[in-house]
A and B are shown apart, each in its own frame.
Chain A
Amino acid sequence: GESVGLHLPTLSVQEGDNSIINCAYSNSASDYFIWYKQESGKGPQFIIDIRSNMDKRQGQRVTVLLNKTVKHLSLQIAATQPGDSAVYFCAENPNAGGTSYGKLTFGQGTILTVHP
């Protein structure tokens, strides 16, 4: 079946660097994508989302880029801080319109480690 996947399972950066976390998806019908941050032993927290009619969306220190041509999603974190260390998941809404009933498909996750 179709699924969301991540290119890199781990990413280590120095404090202050910019981080880029990638995600590949295969369902061309997906119309909405979300990035979540999950700290150890906690539930995922919403970071940023993007709809398929957009290429880029910016938040506070984070940017999500969507390339529908190659079915690729990325999360950019500017000036990465030790508190950004966590597992980052991408998720997609696999069905356009109202038929998905809110079911998200999640990728495997990327572990981001930020070194002071």
Chain B
Amino acid sequence: DGGITQSPKYLFRKEGQNVTLSCEQNLNHDAMYWYRQDPGQGLRLIYYSQIVNDFQKGDIAEGYSVSREKKESFPLTVTSAQKNPTAFYLCASSIRGRTYGYTFGSGTRLTVV
């Protein structure tokens, strides 16, 4: 079945560490997105990518980095510069430039310990 897979489901980070969240899709979607979700708030866009080897900052990109070396993969690195990284991170994909057919992964919960 086609879908979008995020791993790990739970991730713990020590102060000062960089951690990388994985996002893989086999939907043949060109566009991929990373959102952050905090309790009581909507989803906020971190980074997005419309095609391989290209990505753009979203609304809250500071302290995060991404790469898009393959169409299927869009990993997110939470760097030590992100001062409040504890949150639920959601990856999504869609047909390039379109919002219908938007598909989300099951999320990664990151906690700073």
Contact = CB atoms under 8 A, between A and B. Distances in A.
Nearest to B10: A41
Contact of B97 (A9, A101, A108): A101
Contacts of B40: 9, 108-109
Interface in A72-97: 89, 93
Contacts of B103: 46
Interface residues of B, number: 30
A67 interface: no
B14 interface: no
A98 interface: yes
Chain A's interface size range is: 20 to 34
Contacts of B102: 34, 46, 102, 104
B104 A45 contact: yes
Nearest to B104: A43
A102 B97 contact: yes
Interface string B1-37: 0000010000000000000000000000001010100
A100 B6 CA distance: 25
